[in-house]
Amino acid sequence: MSRTEVLDTHAHIVPRSLLTALQQRPVAGFSARRTERGWVVAVPGTGETRPIGARMTDAGPRADWQRHAGVTRQILSPWLDIQAGGRDWARTLNDAMADAAAEAGTVALASVTGDQATEDLLEAWKRPEFAGLLLNTDPPDGPAPHEPAFDPLWTLAAAEGIPVVLHPPTCGPSDALASLGTMGNVHGRLIDNTVAITRLILAGVLDRHPGLKLVLVHGGGFLPYQAHRLDGGYRTKEAFAGELAREKPSAYLGDFHYDTVGLSAPAIAFLAGFGPVLLGSDYPFALGDPDPVRTVRESGLDDAFVEAILHTNADALFRRPA
């Protein structure tokens, strides 16, 4: 076992303080109530969320899981099911996330939304509780990350060195594929990941904003494992949005960070050949990895690679400037 801390970079939370506050007084159309199966949040335009269990909201179950898994600290992410909303809601959510991070002795990822997302990201970045941004790959209330209207946010993130974690929503574009049936959370989210990342590359976002610190959850979807097929599509103009500064789309895969969520040990070893890999559990969800440290240690990678995945890569990425 590593003697340094083990950082879980993909762990969600809905702060209990936020839920109790919403129960007393709605904010921007959001409210909360307790049910026999857990808390539910009423989200404007979409109705009530799935029940939110104690593993998501309470410190005790989270600490128990961390001890069992050998995780020292988590980078706290908001739950995307309640992330969508206007500016007032994003600020309310950020306040609750900052408080939760301070209480847990860690840092969190911020939320932004709407036309003033760039200004709000700069505002959040000034707070020491935040170490980056969790960005929906299919925002319901604004442009997609690969579209030109998103460039001001990318400019800020690159200039300030703000890590941006790209995360698909629970209900993403792949839900339109009727053939997925009940496998939306199994394969659909990976499709959404893959398409969103591909569009970022093909639209020249990485050419226009060198130095971006982007994290791809769920191991980057299917893209790292089918990268040469994308190269073929770029060559034949079947996947083409403009001339790239580099020879082929796969040349950009080393610019990303990748988490280990949902990956087998051999897949993690394969992914380590592309770019920095970060430990991730997707806590508290069942499709995450209940024993992520063990999975990394079974990858067959040497001790230096294992140490980098468990600690060094995440520490370098999310450590706030002194």
Reduced to 3 states (helix: H, G, I; strand: E, B; else coil), residue 18 is: helix
Convert the pLDDT of each residue in 288-315 to its tens digit.
999 999 999 999 999 999 999 999 999 9
Q: Which pTM was predicted?
A: 0.95
Q: Which segment of 74-83, 141-150, 179-188, 250-259 scores lowest on mean pLDDT?
A: 179-188
Q: Quickly list DSSP for 119-164.
A: HHHHHHHTSTTEEEEEEESS-TTS--TTSGGGHHHHHHHHHHT--E
Distance, CA of 312 to CA of 23 (rounded, Å): 40
Which of these, 73, 92, 116, lies nearest to 21 by C-alpha position? 92
pLDDT band (50, 70, 90) for residue 1? very low
What is the share, in percent, of the chain residues with pLDDT greater than 90?
Answer: 84
Q: How far apart are CA 179 and CA 40, in angstroms?
A: 29
Measured between alpha carbons, how far is residue 316 from residues 43, 91, 161, 201, 259 in Å? 35, 27, 11, 24, 14
Residue 173 scores a pLDDT above 90: no
Assign 3 a pLDDT band (cuts: 50, 70, 90).
Answer: low
- Split at pLDDT 50, 70, 90, the class of 322 is low
Q: 227 near 262, Cβ under 8 Å?
A: no
Residue 158 pLDDT > 90? yes
The pairing of strands 256-259 and 277-278 is: parallel
User: Cα 116 from chain centroid?
Assistant: 21
pLDDT in tens, 193-221: 999 999 999 999 999 999 999 999 999 99
What six digits make up the tokens of 75? 């980078």
Number of H helices, E strands in the chain: 13, 11
**How high is the mean pLDDT of the chain?**
94
Q: Which range, of 13-27, 50-64, 102-116, 175-189, averages the lowest pLDDT?
A: 175-189
